[in-house]
Structure 1
Amino acid sequence: MTLAGARERRVRTGGVELCVAEWGDPAAQPTVVLVHGYPDSKEVWSEVAGRLAERFHVVLYDVRGHGRSTAPRPLRGGFTLEKLTDDFLAVVDAVSPDRPVHLVGHDWGSVQAWEFTTVERTRGRIASFTSMSGPSLDHFGHWIKKRVSRPTPRKVGQLLGQGAKSWYVYLLHTPVLPELAWRGPLGRQWPKILRRLERIPAGDYPTSSLPRDAANGAWLYRDNIRPRLGRPRGDAYAHAPVQLITPLGDAYLSERLYDELEQWAPRLVRRTLPAKHWIPRTRPDQVAAWITEFVTSTEGGRPEPAVSGPHAGRFGGQLVLVTGAGSGIGRATAFAFAEAGARVVAVDRDAESAARTAELSRLAGAPEAWAETVDVSDEQAMEQLAAKVAAEYGVVDVLVNNAGIGLSGSFLDTTVEDWRNVLDVNLWGVIHGCRLFGKQMADRGQGGHIVNTASAAAYLPSKALPAYSTSKAAVLMLSECLRAELAGQGIGVSAICPGFVNTAITSTARFTGVDAEEEKRRRKRSARLYGLRNYPPEKVAEAVVRAVVRNQAVVPVTVEARGGRLMSRFAPRALRAIARMEPPL
């Protein structure tokens, strides 16, 4: 997605000429202004802008000295926050003279935008502000002073941690060397560095103006860092609602910088994202979804997310795919992520059930939800599903391999076909999901999470469940192996091990070695026993969400599952004795 189709204009202010690109109708749509960071140009926003342009009047501009905007002369003193505020006001007066704008900033664009949102002369011109990877220098200055004046081991550790992350700031204050590096080898290698470290896909970014932009932009640091950190303003309060999006893997900024932000931005919405620094390029779907939600809610008079569950800041806008989502644990899990604001792909072999789950997920809070029909045991069908999801919805952030079938009966009564059926769904279905969607997560390079539904039967031997228990034990070990392999790529893997949960699996489970009448009787009895236990699938869904948030390895859910897990470790002989007992059927 490029800037093709944008209207371009020039805005003159303070001796410079700014290049401004815009889409949409300012008279009919809210205006969203995107401000880029360092060493970027407005093209860093191209993926996000294209998505926002479907609903808003979108404006990008090259900050002075960057992209196709001219640089001040002399450079020294030409990049102060006061002059950057003049530029911003000139742009918004040109593109939206009669209505306040919704402001979005990344990196130094966010540093500037904090200034715009907290100075008195912009009051009434900003409807909302979304901040990404760039603190207010005034807030940062107060943060430092608070820790220096009242040091504790924890506060000193925070100072040292952020000091280490800010190594590049010291280098940019040295004379001449940054300019030589950017106009020389660093400028030539920067696109490769971004692709290697941040996994930024190739495209229209960075532009050919990068070496000049980076050399000029060094004055952003020199003109502002020391004055503001040394003498931070005491009145830097936000006069508009603020949405803070914090990438948890940001190599340059600590999460702790925002610990006291509520005192400066009382109307604050926090979001976190398991990603690195350049999220406008690596997570455009997520970023655009959160901006859209925040702008829409602010325009509607409620500057808080429409979804406000306990994990809305963690999963809002993320893409979650759940297999076996047509009923039971799968449907409850889809709803749990929908309530947290995630976009949901409900997958089931029953098309009608999948469609119903998607419909209810939208009602539960999912900004978008889709139904897909597939048999998880079908390798080619799963490959087609993975390709379609990546092309139409994006790379999955959370994969829940939940589809499964039940099978009961002695080993000698279990046919080869029975074994093939249960392993194809319970094990191969999980393998297909992990292989296909896990590879997409790894290729993206921004982490993710895989949840595999195993069972307490994975570690509780039973003479009545040899095939089912074997399939679930394999899922458990597969999850442990994958967790070790993918940890270095920021991809978590969890195995969920429920016990007796009241779902429809009892009505579809097969019983080997008996006739149809006896199988029907056993199904009814199993359903009655599970109903008496009455452990709801919603509690398993809650455990799934917690497992992702906490990155837990193995999660026994029910009391019997937790007790069985302990016995498998500390009293295996007792479990083997229990396994010889006849089941209550």
Structure 2
Amino acid sequence: MTLEGARERRVRAGGVELCVAELGDPGQPTVILVHGYPDSKEVWSEVAPRLADRFHVVLYDVRGHGRSTAPKPLRGGFTLEKLTDDFLAVADAVSPDRPVHLVGHDWGSVQAWEFATIKRTEGRIASFTSMSGPSLDHFGHWINSRLKRPTPRRVGQLLGQGAKSWYVYLLHTPVLPELAWRGPLGKTWPRILERVEKVPGDGYPTPSLPTDAAHGAWLYRDNVRTRLRRPRPDAYAHAPVQLITPLGDAFLSERLYDELELWVPQLIRRTLPAKHWIPRSRPAQLASWITEFVTSVEGGRPESVTATGKYADRFGGQLVLVTGAGSGIGRATAYAFAEAGARVVAVDRDAEAAIRTAEMSRLIGAPEAWAETVDVSDEQAMEKLAAKVATEYGVVDVLVNNAGIGLSGSFFDTTPEDWKKVLDVNLWGVIHGCRLFGKQMAERGQGGHIVNTASAAAYQPSRALPAYSTSKAAVLMLSECLRAELAGQGIGVTAICPGLVNTNITSTAHFAGVDAEEEKRRQKKSARLYGLRNYPPEKVADAILRAVVRGEAVVPVTPEARGAYLMSRFTPRALRRIARLEPPL
């Protein structure tokens, strides 16, 4: 695997020769990507090109890895002090006059924490993006604070991280790790990454893996025990830090970073529903966050990258697609995700409405937002949309199937055409979205979430809403079934059940069995009643974001929706009696 278009050079430092690759314009801000264990610089091959349009991107093989030479002897040749020498040599070679932006993953992040917290690198680092690798000094203090004050919760955190760190103990054993990596483990590692970590089988890792992994064992042996026993008391970051934490990391607990603000004056947190190897599994997401962070720091505004929404740490940079986003609940939901820093795809059959939502989403806080026009009931159009989104924007992290239409009228007044129209949009639109975008989530293997807008009418029968209620009841049951099926793949499914919400669905709803004049009168009266209730769609949007964060299954939103849901569970006979009442129209 090669980095297409990269310029290579050799940089000497501390008795080794480092292989350095460069992409992009050297006149732009320099971003240095540091790989982890047991990787080589090619772990960044999907991230680096995405950054090269805006930045001077530099990657190098850590000593003893890839095409860089190894120190002799290996013992003592991988200390953090020597790794710092290597970094400074690379930084001086590629950006002698300007500080660099540092990005590290796994052991690349571990050593980059050293670079970002010691005196001799001060002024050389403009920013640091850390992912899946803590500072050994911070880790040592984290352990000591829990040993000194061992509450049950803190002991549980220690034991939890201790279990996740099983591989660290093995790497400290003599000879065995080298034999394993040069033998069966080195041969099976690509398949392990593909099956367990869901890393695409695209030719990574490189053939140097067995040697890289054997040499890299000394990263642990030369540093871990020493630093954890005697962590530095002055390990304060001298540059803004962006922390990206994969929530599904099998090796590092999220709790490791609980007290990081004590050490980092300018800290921005991001979380990602993914596993450990995010440079391979989520390159577009990382490139978006890195670009946003570096740009804000270069502009003297590192705090501006922080989105204002309540759940910015959870959704910042994620790709969210909302159908029916041109108005009402869909528009409010798109805006709420935009405020949380998500990238938004606003989908609506009204092209102008979708464009307005996308434009406002960008103004509110979305780093990127796009408008797409589609009728969700059109299977072929939805298939084209799913293919386009995956190709141009990436795999969706959160899907909100919100598009829907209203239909009122008795069963015998509702024509087959009426039934087909309401089921095509309200049910089949949801089915198309779940099938197409949900499949992409499942194939990616990094989790995600699907939100389907049902209704309180899904469990509250009404003599006036047989078709509408049937469509929404089907959405509710579909959501429950899909939730069960996708649970093992880390994909959550939520059914949102709003009640009387002040949107334009009432003014556009069809009333079966009446003439046009009477239909118009009923639409106006319904809109007036909903307006008097005046429950804003923004509250539904907030419930949607909260449901995704909490992984909730069924969410009745308004008080009347919650009351009807409880009645459907505990007093269904009373609810059936209410269903017999004539609607106030």
Structures share a fold, TM > 0.5? yes
1:474-493 equivalent positions in 2, closer than 5 A = 474-493=474-493
Which amino acid in the other structure matches residue 283 of structure 2? P
1:310 Cα deviation after fit:
1.8
Query: Does 2:61 align with 1:86?
Result: no
- Mapping for residues 273-312 of structure 1, pairs under 5 Å: 273-304=272-303, 305-312=305-312
Match in the other structure for 2:215: 216
Give the C-alpha shift of residue 308 in structure 1.
3.0
1:565 matched residue in structure 2? 565
Give me the whole-angstrom Cα distance separating, in 2, the residues matched to 1:505 and 1:146: 56
Shift in Å at residue 204 of structure 1?
4.2
In structure 2, the partner of 1:200 is 199
Give distance in 1, aligned partners of 2:497 and 2:293: 37
Q: Which residue of 1 aligns with 2:50?
A: 51
Distance 2:399 2:153 in 1: 36
Instruction: Report if aligned partners of 1:2, 1:204 keep a CA contact under 8 Å in 2.
Output: no
Q: How far apart in 1 are the matches of 2:329 and 2:309?
A: 20
The residue that corresponds to 2:333 in the other structure is 333
Q: Which residue of 1 aligns with 2:318?
A: 318
Q: Which residue of 1 aligns with 2:390?
A: 390
**Preserved contact between residue 25 and residue 52 of structure 2 (Cα < 8 Å):** no
Q: Describe the SS at the equivalent of 1:362.
A: helix
1:348 paired with 2:328, answer no
Matched ranges for 1:119-134 at <5 A: 119-134=118-133
Distance apart, 1:189 and its partner CA: 0.5
* Aligned equivalents of 2:220, 2:2: Cα separation in 1: 29
Residue of structure 2 in register with 1:164 after alignment: 163
8 A Cα contact 1:43 1:204, kept in partner: no
Deviation at 1:387, TM superposition (A): 0.9
Count of aligned pairs between the two proteins: 584
Instruction: Deviation per CA, 1:107-166: give whole Å up to 9, x if none.
Output: 000000000011100000000111100011111111111111221211111111111100
Letter in 1 for 2:95: S
Match of residue 380 from structure 2: 380
Q: What is the Cα deviation at residue 2 of structure 1? A: 5.1
Q: Name the SS for the 1:383 alignment partner.
A: helix
Aligned to 1:34, what secondary structure does the other structure show? strand
Q: In structure 1, how many angstroms separate the alpha carbons of the residues matched to 2:148 and 2:409?
A: 70
Amino acid corresponding to residue 516 of structure 1 in structure 2: A
Q: Is the 8 A contact 1:426 1:471 kept in 2?
A: yes
Separation (CA, whole Å) in 1 of partners of 2:409 and 2:152:
60
Matched residue SS, 1:47: coil
CA distance in 2, matches of 1:135, 1:176: 26
How far apart are 1:202 and its partner, in Å?
Answer: 2.0
Aligned residue in 1 for 2:408: 408
Distance in structure 1 (CA, Å) of the matches to 2:165 and 2:239: 28
Report whether the alignment pairs 1:365 with 2:343.
Answer: no
Q: Deviations over 1:512-536 (max 9, x none)?
A: 1111111111111111111111111
The answer to whether residue 256 in structure 2 is matched with residue 252 in structure 1 is no
Structure 1 CA distance for aligned equivalents of residues 313 and 283 of structure 2: 17
Q: TM-score, normalised by structure 1?
A: 0.99
Residue 405 of structure 1 aligns to a residue whose secondary structure is coil
Percent of counterpart pairs with the same letter? 86
Deviation at 1:88, TM superposition (A): 0.2
Aligned residue in 2 for 1:42: 41
- The residue type equivalent to 2:461 in the other structure is P
Letter in 1 for 2:268: V
Counterpart in the other structure of 1:540? 540
Hey, what does 2:423 align to over in structure 1? 423
8 Å CA contact 2:458, 2:470 repeated in 1? yes
**What corresponds to 1:551 in structure 2?**
551
CA contact (8 A) 1:297 1:306 kept: no
Please, which runs of 5 or more residues in structure 2 have no aligned partner?
none
Per-residue deviation, residues 63-117 of structure 1 (Å, max 9, x unmatched): 0000000000000000000000000000000000000001000000000000001
- Contact kept, 8 Å, 1:293 with 1:306, in 2: the verdict is no
DSSP 3-state at the match of 1:575: helix
Corresponding letter in the other structure for 2:452: N
CA contact (8 A) 2:268 2:306 kept: no
Residues in 2 aligned to 1:127 and 1:359: alpha-carbon distance in whole angstroms: 31
Task: Report the counterpart of residue 445 of structure 1 in structure 2.
Answer: 445
Matching residue's letter, 1:126: I
Match of 2:508 in 1: 508
User: Quick one: distance in 2 between partners of 1:50 and 1:60?
Assistant: 11
Contact 1:2 1:47 in 2 (8 A): no
Residue by residue over 1:432-476, the C-alpha shift from the partner in whole angstroms, topping out at 9 and shown as x without a partner, is 100111000000000000000000000111000000001001101
- Give, as a single letter, the amino acid of the residue that structure 2 aligns with 1:107: D
Determine if contact 1:198/1:278 at 8 Å carries over to the other structure: yes
Q: Deviations over 1:528-582 (max 9, x none)?
A: 1111111111111111111111111111111110111111111111111111111
Q: Quote the offset at 1:488 in angstroms.
A: 0.6
CA distance in 2, matches of 1:2, 1:338: 36
1:476-519 Cα shifts (integer Å, max 9, x gaps): 11111111111110000000000111111111100011111111
CA 1:526–1:341 in 2, change beyond 3 Å: closer, same or farther? same
The one-letter amino acid of 1:348's match is D
TM-score (norm 2): 0.99
Instruction: Give the gaps of 5 or more residues in structure 1.
Output: none
